[in-house]
Amino acid sequence: MGASLSNLTEGTNRSGHRPSLGDIPESCVACVFIYLTLLEICNLARLNRAFRGATSSDSAWESKLPLNYHDLLDLVPS
């Protein structure tokens, strides 16, 4: 852990590029999305591939759905 933290302060990592938002794992981004509004999630999805990929995670959206969403889906014609 200490080595990766020192890489952030030095400005580059082992692969030789500077850390960016795209380096954050999609699963971590999806966890953050739980605390954001729908509009905020959609705006962040436009920033980069990692954020866009995280928006396809069910966990990012499940907390935003009404509690009875399964019942509502049953009302939708196939």
Q: Could you tell me the residue ranges of all domains in the chain?
A: 2-75
Give me the pLDDT at residue 30, please. Answer: 82
pTM above 0.75, yes or no: no
Note the pLDDT tens digit of each residue in 1-23: 445 544 455 555 566 788 887 78
Furthest-apart CA atoms within the chain: distance in Å: 56
